[in-house]
Amino acid sequence: MKGYEITFYTQQDRLHGLIQMSEWILLTARDLGLRGATIMTGSEGYGHNRHIHSARFFELADNPQEIVMIGNEDETNLLFDHLQKEGVHLFYVKTPVEFGILGKPD
């Protein structure tokens, strides 16, 4: 299949309403029917404002996070429409990909 890999970048202490931003994006993607998503937490990084985000002893909630997912064109359009309606402000990368499943299910 053809579609997109989307990666969103945020930090662990960022919220959308009362829920962690990364978890909210993961649940939103699931509810909208995207095929899967993964949250990855990094030890250190920086964003557009050049502020270092890191997993230091006193700043454990400041870890950088990536939320990676795959979807076809319709699924990703639905996701981005929903994010715009919610007023979400996030940096992302959207890359065209080919995806599928190999082998038989267990």
- The range of the structural domain enclosing residue 16 comes to 2-62+69-91
The pLDDT score that the predictor gives to residue 10 is 92
Strand 52-54, strand 44-46: pairing: antiparallel
Does the residue 100 lie in any domain?
no
pLDDT tens digits along 30-79: 999 998 999 998 766 666 676 665 666 555 566 889 999 999 999 999 99
Does the residue 97 lie in any domain?
no
Report which of 65, 90, 76 is spatially closest to residue 29, judged by C-alpha positions: 76
Counted domains in the chain: 1
Q: For residues 30, 32, 38 and 42, what is the CA-based torsion angle, rounded to 10 degrees?
A: -120
The pLDDT score that the predictor gives to residue 12 is 87
